[in-house]
Amino acid sequence: MAAKQDGRSVGSLSGGCVEEDFLLRLSEGRFAKTVERIRYGSGGDVDASRVSLPCGGSLEILVEQLTPSDYNIEHLQKLQKTLEGHTVKLRRVALKAIKETGAAHLLDAQALGARIQFDPDNRFVDIRVGPVTRLIIAGISPVATYCAEFALAMGYEVIVCDPRDKAWNDFNVPGIRSERVHPALFIATPGMCHRASAVVGLTHDPRIDDLAIMEAIETPSFYIGVMGSHKTSKARANRLQRTGGLSSEQIARIHMPIGLALGSKTPAEIALAIMSDILRVQRGKSRHEL
């Protein structure tokens, strides 16, 4: 959330629970430090008589005061370029900073990992920033439809590729980018897959799925998966290694069978398992941590 002392703001903190109180405190001159942390709700340091969280939990907020200094302006320009580009950065915010030097700077980062991590010694917090996650769906199917809908709700950029005209007849998901080309051709186009990209093959047709996966494996995509049973996945791995020339290391990058083992049966359940697994990998969580 970005806010000015006169009450103007964009974005949100909690979806409506604390915004009014936060803006009121801001107008009263409450947040004078360069960086501070406040907590609403259970165990919080904000007066509970003025606001409470209906969920009964707590919400910790990192508040930064950004003065119009040359340092802060340059930092925001770099942050904008990061969000518009194809790289991932860590925005490191010093928890004990002074206005003259600025509180934050950007560091190179892995694409995967927790969004927010505090230094054990409470010196700084790392906030992972980067482009919107891109989901490339190779081929239209009932599962692909639900994956597209779930991904859009999660804030992903969704691109669906399928060269079959008939496949588009019953596919209608507003908000996606449609590419009526073979997914392999789209994926092979420079710049289409970056480190914040996930590629999934969901047709059960090796002419689409296999070729798409073979191209995706040459990209820095953080997640590559293809739908199929354990038996089908084993046959696909042998096929990709034998005829596609993929190495054992490349095969190991492919999530097959795709998704978490939730006992999913319906297309919606399978799509939920797929999107859950993509999010798991994106956040740097191993399966045994779930």
Res 48 pLDDT > 80: no
Residues 122, 188, single domain; the answer is no
Residues 149, 115, single domain; the answer is no
Looking at the DSSP bridge assignments, the partners of residue 223 are 198
Residues 179, 285, single domain; the answer is yes
pLDDT-derived band at 149, boundaries 50, 70, 90: very high
Residues 123, 202, single domain; the answer is no
CB atoms within 10 A of CB 278: 26
Please provide the size of the chain in residues: 290
pLDDT 10s digits, 113-132? 888 999 888 889 999 998 88
Residues 17, 151, single domain; the answer is no
Q: How far apart are CA 232 and CA 229, in angstroms?
A: 5
Residues 169, 113, single domain; the answer is no
Q: How far apart are CA 290 and CA 276, in angstroms?
A: 11
Q: pTM here?
A: 0.76
Residues 32, 81, single domain; the answer is no
pLDDT-derived band at 63, boundaries 50, 70, 90: very high
- Total domain count, the chain: 3
Peptide bond into 190 cis (omega under 30): no
Residues 124, 26, single domain; the answer is no
DSSP 28: T
Q: How far apart are CA 281 and CA 112, in angstroms?
A: 7
Q: How far apart are CA 185 and CA 188, in angstroms?
A: 5
Res 98 pLDDT > 70: no
Phi and psi angles of residue 224, each rounded to the nearest 5 degrees, phi first:
-130, 120
Residues 209, 236, single domain; the answer is yes
Structure token pair of residue 150: 């779930």
Residues 32, 120, single domain; the answer is no
Which of 19, 35, 64 terminates a domain? The answer is 64
Residues 104, 182, single domain; the answer is no
Which of 43, 64, 85 terminates a domain? The answer is 64
Residues 52, 113, single domain; the answer is no
Q: How far apart are CA 284 and CA 287, in angstroms?
A: 10
Give the CATH number for residue 177.
3.40.50.720
Res 11 pLDDT > 70: yes
Which of 114, 129, 144 terminates a domain? The answer is 129
Domain that holds residue 104: 70-129
